[in-house]
Amino acid sequence: MKSHYRVVVIGGGVVGASVLYHLAKFGWTDVVMLERRRLASGSSWHAAGGIHALNADPNMAALQAYTIDLLSEIEKESGQNIGLHMTGGLTLAGTPERWEWLQANYRIFQSIGIDDCELLTPEEAQRRCPIMSTEGVLGAMWADREGYIDTTGTVQAYATAARKRGAEYYEDTKVERLVQTADGWQVVTDKGTITCEHVVNAAGLWAKQVGRMAGVELPLSPLKHHYLITDTVPEVAAADFEMPMTVDLEGFTYMRQDQKGILVGIYEINHEHWAMDGAPWNYGEELFQEQLDRIENELMLGFARYPSIQDVGIKTWVNGAFTFSPDGNPLVGPVPGKRGYWSACAVMAGFLQGGGVGKTLAEWMIHGEPEADAMSMDVARYGDYAQNKRYIRETTGQFYSRRFVMSYPNEQLPAGRPLKMAPAHDAMTAAGCRWGISWDLEVPLYFAPSENFVENLTLKRSNAHPIVAEECRVIRKGVGLLDITGFSRFEVSGPNAEAWLDKLFATKLPAPGRARLAVMLSETGRLKGDLTLLNWGDGTWWIMGSYHLRAWHMRWFNDHLDDEVSVRDLGEEICGFGLVGPRSRAVIEKLAEQDISDLKLMGCGSFDIGLVRARVARMSVTGEMGYEINCRYGEHIALRRMLLEAGAGEGIREVGFNALLSTRIEKSFGIWSAEFTQDRTPGMTAMDRWIAWDKGDFIGRDAAIAERDGNGPARVQVTLEVDAADADASGYEPVWVDGKQIGFVTSGAYGHYTGKSLAMALVDRDKAQPGTQVSVHVVGVERPAVIIAPSPYDPEGKAMRG
């Protein structure tokens, strides 16, 4: 072991070994992995080893598909047998809602390139898994790329392949301390001290302690998980093929063959945490005693689904710990505020996702960004609020218990809530507000007509549909009041602020007293933000964007910060309300102590709004005249009262973000995490219209020019009008022309004012002309659609200008 490496990977499980392999594969060979005991100690050795490409999150599904394709390469390259059994797999649906969900996801998988799936009847499913009872099964989805592997052999294969490429790894080497230096890190082990530029925390069950060594509190916790292995099952022994990997969603179980018996794993509702502060250092290949009383209900469902095992013995019980994040996705990437410290933690499905995690992290370290959009597993998707132990316990437990529970896009889950609330939260609740969550903040969705109203959970339009329709009518015809605490705000100041912003953004900077939509790019010309830049004219600037990206954007700002520039997150200080609609000017003029009538579209300035000294910007994402009124937290309640009183004669009504999403799609306005993601470019998303091509250097300029002057992107953004029935597209549904997939939906909603089901989509450029007849699968049903010109509502933008 040397005294200096470029990268030290801490943890010799499947994730750490995959990171090591990919770093070496992509050209960084001066890397080492340290394992305190033996490779695969911890969670890896006792994992069930099931593999399947399907995941409700399309980005995670793509990650898993990559991992599965990689496994045979690793086996060949390393020479290590990984026990790969590609049996194919079934996912069962036992309720009409689940069957509907499965049909919808079948189409979504087609959009992301998983084309080895098919939908089956219960009878067809039983022919492929004859030991299964089809009692209660309404349908199933088959996938070719499912099966299982030998877990210890797979970890050894990753590590051996990495070593063949020049990387190193050492067992029985315990990391005891981390010390940050000016140039990187000192890794203090029981075998000596290593100096390195980068540290990767892939410590699995010990990730919490390795995080704390660097002053990092990672939002994760281990939970116990059961599976059993039966003795020989006669029907299995007699079959001339292996039983397929089978997931029974209503039964909370998964099953695969194990020799001549089967393995049945359980995601029980009655979850149990373990060692929330990290596993003991002397813990290794131990297991917990099985807890049959805790898993009794799910166990009985498993025995009913596979009747053959009722008459055979159980050979092995496994009750071991796996590490989970609040939403179940990994925590990957550069940890904000800790240069050179990288997370590869909370990968609860390590053998399923580990290959993709390793690839993503290695690309990030070497090239500055991963090839695919990593937002769904970026460690910066959480902020300081997620360090709270109760928050971690509630959210990780909720995810575990709901692992196989049906989820709905309009469902609001309770764990870790409510945490942060705008000051007027209670008053808005009394007014009927129904709340959603953005990062740590409660945000208004809509205002119910009575306290007894309960929204039905559905994949289609809910009973809140007419409520949102009325709020949209108010926005289009009158004036709506929207709590805009859920926007992010960053204050930029300092002697070099203007020059720094000019370098950071591809957009021309706004003049004093003006705001501008601002495009931020990575060095490779891909999107890093669709933001709004405001020049207050007093030497300070604001950057406004998506609230849930606060830590993600702050990490980017800090990574490019100039010594003479200060960037401050105002998320704990500033909140506000938006007035939206043609009567908004009449309301604000009643309160403004200065003449505000001359404030034009995209103008901004300081105004006395009643008793509040506010920062006001004339803009709105609804496509209507609007004002965003920003105040201090302590003024939020008073500002709401004054605006409601001033608007009483104008028919003012409080509205929520569901109405905002409907009105914005009527304007073909894209949003982050839907139209705009970090694996897309300005040319793909029409954001190139905001680039100031004639200004000086900016981050991503050369790449953006190359796209502009080259052949252009293969796919571009369009707007669709869908002949929908009782449901609307939401995202990743395939778009077809004559049976050929030409793209996919990025987001969709019902346009309540236009009376049309609308969607935005990325489609092949040669099919992007308005008038092109297409079709779209909406909740699994193919519906006719047509590409239309952007902005079906007010295409000339007259309403915004007032």
Q: What is the pLDDT of residues 654-673, one digit of tens each?
A: 999 999 999 999 999 999 99
* The predicted structure's pLDDT at residue 552: 97
Question: CB-based burial of residue 706 (10 Å sphere; 0-12 exposed, 13-18 middle, 19+ buried)?
Answer: exposed
Supply 594's token pair: 């200065």
610, 583 contact by CB (below 8 A) = no
Band (190; pLDDT cuts 50, 70, 90): very high
- Most confident listed range (41-45, 51-55, 132-136): 132-136
Q: What is the pLDDT of residues 487-501, one digit of tens each?
A: 999 999 999 999 999
The residue to which tokens 């912003």 are assigned: 501
Q: Which of 233, 230, 225 is nearest to 273 (CA)?
A: 225
* The predicted structure's pLDDT at residue 738: 95
**Three-state DSSP state, 339:** coil
Largest CA distance in the chain: 87
659, 615 contact by CB (below 8 A) = no
Supply 311's token pair: 């008459």
Q: What is the pLDDT of residues 351-398, one digit of tens each?
A: 999 999 999 999 999 999 999 999 999 999 999 999 999 999 999 999
Q: How many CB atoms lie within 10 A of CB 503?
A: 16
Element (H, E) at 503: helix 497-504
Rg (CA), the chain: 27
Q: Which residues partner with 761 through β-bridges?
A: 718, 745
**Helices H / strands E in the chain, number of each:** 20, 37
143, 110 contact by CB (below 8 A) = no
Is residue 189's pLDDT more than 80? yes
| pLDDT mean over 199-226 | 97
pTM over 0.85: yes
442, 655 contact by CB (below 8 A) = no
Is residue 728's pLDDT more than 90? yes
| pLDDT mean over 542-549 | 97
Is residue 764's pLDDT more than 90? yes
* The predicted structure's pLDDT at residue 16: 98
CA distance 526 to 690: 14
Supply 719's token pair: 């707007």
Supply 270's token pair: 């009655």
Residues 6+ away with beta carbon under 8 Å from 76: none
Task: Supply the DSSP symbol for 551.
Answer: H
Report the DSSP pairing between strands 433-438 and 261-266. unpaired
Mean of the per-residue pLDDT values of the chain: 96
CA distance 455 to 465: 10
Angstrom CA distances, 428 to 436, 447, 648, 712, stand at: 13, 8, 16, 47
Report the DSSP pairing between strands 487-493 and 433-438. unpaired
CA distance 151 to 13: 10
Band (218; pLDDT cuts 50, 70, 90): very high
CA distance 542 to 607: 16
Supply 47's token pair: 């994992």
DSSP readout, 270-306?
S--B--TT---TT-SS--PPP-HHHHHHHHHHHHHHS
* The predicted structure's pLDDT at residue 54: 74
Task: Supply the DSSP symbol for 603.
Answer: B
The dihedral through the CA atoms of 790, 793, 798, 802 has a sign that is: negative
In the chain, pLDDT over 70 holds for what percent of residues? 100
CA distance 373 to 408: 23
CA distance 84 to 147: 8
**Three-state DSSP state, 37:** coil
Is residue 419's pLDDT more than 80? yes
Supply 233's token pair: 């099952």
| pLDDT mean over 78-97 | 96
**Crossing angle, helix 58-78 and helix 151-164, to 10 degrees?**
70
Q: Which of 361, 367, 266 is nearest to 322 (CA)?
A: 266
**Crossing angle, helix 350-367 and helix 14-25, to 10 degrees?**
40
| pLDDT mean over 203-229 | 97
Q: Which residues partner with 378 through β-bridges?
A: 332
Q: What is the pLDDT of residues 13-29, one digit of tens each?
A: 999 999 999 999 999 99
Q: Which domains does the chain have, with CATH numbers?
A: 4-367 (3.50.50.60), 424-701 (3.30.1360.120), 702-801 (2.40.30.110)
Supply 697's token pair: 């250097």
Element (H, E) at 786: strand 781-788
Task: Supply the DSSP symbol for 435.
Answer: E
* The predicted structure's pLDDT at residue 361: 98
**Three-state DSSP state, 141:** strand
Tally the residues of the chain. 802
* The predicted structure's pLDDT at residue 55: 77
Burial per residue of 326-336, b for 16 or more beta-carbon CB atoms within 10 angstroms, e otherwise: bbbbbbbbbbb
507, 518 contact by CB (below 8 A) = yes
* The predicted structure's pLDDT at residue 62: 84
* The predicted structure's pLDDT at residue 778: 97
The residue to which tokens 């008038």 are assigned: 771
* The predicted structure's pLDDT at residue 227: 96
DSSP readout, 700-750?
THHHHHHHHHSS--SEEEEEEEE--SS----SS-EEEETTEEEEEEEEEEE
* The predicted structure's pLDDT at residue 535: 98
* The predicted structure's pLDDT at residue 61: 85
Beta-sheet strands, E only, within 433-486: 433-438, 441-447, 480-483
Residue type at position 141 = M
Q: Which of 356, 336, 387, 357 is nearest to 202 (CA)?
A: 357
664, 471 contact by CB (below 8 A) = no
Residue type at position 131 = I
CA distance 216 to 204: 15
Task: Supply the DSSP symbol for 455.
Answer: P
204, 42 contact by CB (below 8 A) = yes
**Three-state DSSP state, 495:** coil
Band (63; pLDDT cuts 50, 70, 90): confident
Supply 178's token pair: 């981390």
**Crossing angle, helix 96-111 and helix 58-78, to 10 degrees?**
60
Q: Tell me how far the alpha carbon of residue 494 is from its chain's centroid.
A: 34
**Crossing angle, helix 350-367 and helix 58-78, to 10 degrees?**
90
Task: Supply the DSSP symbol for 59.
Answer: H
